[in-house]
Copies of this chain bind each other. A is one copy, B any other.
Amino acid sequence: MSPGEKLTFVTSNRHKAREIKALFRSQNVKLNIHFAKTMEIQSENLAEIALFSSIDAYNYLRRPVFVEDAGLFVEELNGFPGPYSSYVYSTLGLDGLLRLVGKNRKAVFKSVVCVYGLVDRPLLFTGNVSGVIAPKPRGKHGFGYDPIFIPSGSGKTLAEMSVAEKNRFSHRGRAVRKLLRWLYKDRRKI
């Protein structure tokens, strides 16, 4: 069994599962997925949230797991919605966030992957992507804030990209590629 195949990705988000599955598949690694909601703590630090969640997932499944936590940090809003991006999306929606953003439209999408139970310590991998908040939603792919986030170096929102293209640009793609690089140190081109 290859190192990646020992791992189970635990999530309640089918979009995340799809994106991470595609990244693993590009390395010919089959991804095990377990759909479940893990406990998340309140923290402004995604790594701390992911660490606790991975412990919770491991305690439940008792096999090597990883979780991923992400958030959109809008500069002008002191990082809001940050770690609570999903809650804010489900209450205020994209319109609510657009109403709050003014002149400075800079934002960073951050992702943290935490692996627990594979080696004798937790492993953390982070991925950030800078960009701007679009004036209005565009695109039908992805989920969450994808329709209003334009990564630097692209004219498209994340929701105007296919899964493969989003993975090339996205915070999550970056974090998961670091995990894959760690798992398969000899594959230089991940």
A interface vs B, CB < 8 Å? 39-42, 44, 49, 77-80, 82-84, 87-88, 90-92, 96, 99-100
- Bound complex: CA A30 to CA B41 (Å): 32
Report the copy number of this chain in the oligomer.
Answer: 2
Q: Please pick, from B78, B79, B87, B96, the residue contacting A84 in the complex, using a CB distance under 8 A.
A: B87
- If A44-B87, A80-B91, A80-B96 are given as contacts, then 10 extra A-B residue pairs at C-beta distance below 8 Å, sorted by A number, are A41-B41, A41-B42, A42-B49, A77-B91, A77-B92, A77-B96, A78-B90, A78-B91, A78-B92, A84-B88
Q: Please pick, from B40, B80, B96, the residue contacting A42 in the complex, using a CB distance under 8 A.
A: B40
- A96 contacts which chain B residues (CB < 8 A)? 77, 80, 100
